[in-house]
Chains A and B, each alone.
Chain A
């Protein structure tokens, strides 16, 4: 978060905006302080029912979507950290992501990092019919949570995870409400991935 604020200041282009969305059903109490501490000057949203991920077929955080002046998506990735990180054997993020973003801001569709509509379509995360039902199931859980009806919220969040087991957003949001078990749940699920990567590769030229 603080990293993106300094990148934003550095880019300093009046035709470029950042929209940062915290996907937190816990709301302001969960995510507000992180925004405050980062002193962000770009658009800051707390997206309690994961509206953006629902619309753009995102299943993990952080995810990044580039949208051009005409409203066309020109790149969509998950694991969009500003730098490469290594935690033991777990590697994520790329040192090329921010230079790639700058290249696109400067060159637009001539940037080698901008995808054609066909490339965007091919890179969208597909949703099965059950995965489509997971979306309203998750939001039903958010509704019950907002009403303080936690057992019903839990029921529908579990249902959303059963319907779309590939959504880390649904798993991790649910686990966040039982912090003592969150990391063991996470490790178990990660180990179950086998050879599948936790983040879909970003497909950045020169990476």
Chain B
């Protein structure tokens, strides 16, 4: 019952006091993973997620100095509500779409179904684009084993893509 009430409140208040906690769970697709977002702040334009889901979406970790990935840290004010960060009932929320715009991460959204799909962050592609470092990936092979490209260091690898079509 409590859960239903919370949901109703969120829907009612959401229209007036954005962002509020949304009743509907959204889904994010990123890095080959389908991420079920437990709850999000309702906001017509932006996708607000928990710090854990934020990292799953773009690889950036929320630290006191900002949102960081490898040697890049994007400043992120966490002592007051802002465009990228808000706190509600002790829970931190991050604006994944505005952050994507900031770091030029491509994304699309199917609004009707609340499914957001994120592309790659360009700064994480520099080694590939500028220095020909093979981008790493993990895929499951036909034996059900996880294949990680970087595990083949020390060998020469030929990747061949093909298709039945």
Contact = CB atoms under 8 A, between A and B. Distances in A.
Interface of A: 1, 4, 13, 15-24, 26, 28, 30-32, 34-35, 43-47, 49, 51-56, 58, 61-74, 80, 101, 104-105, 108, 115, 117, 120-121, 124, 129, 132-133, 135-137, 139-140, 143-144, 149, 152, 155-156, 159, 169, 172-173, 175-176, 182
Interface in B17-62: 27, 29, 32, 34
B142 interface: yes
B157 interface: yes
Contacts of B16: none
Given A18-B158, A67-B149, A73 B134 contact: yes
B134 A67 contact: yes
Given A67-B157, A135-B106, A51 B32 contact: yes
Which 10 interchain pairs have the tightest Cβ spacing? A120-B132, A176-B165, A136-B117, A117-B132, A140-B117, A132-B106, A55-B135, A67-B157, A136-B119, A65-B159
B84 interface: no
Contacts of A1: 162
19 contacts: A16-B155, A17-B152, A32-B142, A49-B32, A52-B139, A56-B135, A64-B161, A66-B156, A66-B158, A67-B156, A105-B156, A117-B131, A121-B131, A136-B29, A140-B29, A140-B115, A143-B115, A143-B117, A159-B108
Contacts of A30: 164-165
B163 A22 contact: yes
A133 B119 contact: yes
B34 to A, nearest CB: 6
A52 B150 CA distance: 14
B142 A51 contact: no
Contact of A22 (B130, B154, B157, B162): B162
- In this complex, which of A43, A63, A182 has the most chain B Cβ atoms within 10 angstroms of its Cβ? A43
Contacts of A15: 154-156
A62 B32 CA distance: 22
Contacts of A155: 110
B158 A64 contact: yes
A43 B128 CA distance: 23
Contacts of A65: 134, 157-159
B147 interface: yes
Contacts of A104: 156
Contacts of A17: 152, 155-158
Nearest to A131: B106
A22 B160 CA distance: 8
Given A66-B157, A140-B117, A23 B108 contact: no
B94 to A, nearest CB: 19
A71 B153 contact: yes
A23 B156 contact: no
B121 to A, nearest CB: 10
A159 B142 CA distance: 30
Nearest to A55: B135
A121 B129 contact: yes
A69 B151 CA distance: 11
Given A45-B147, A137-B108, A67 B159 contact: yes
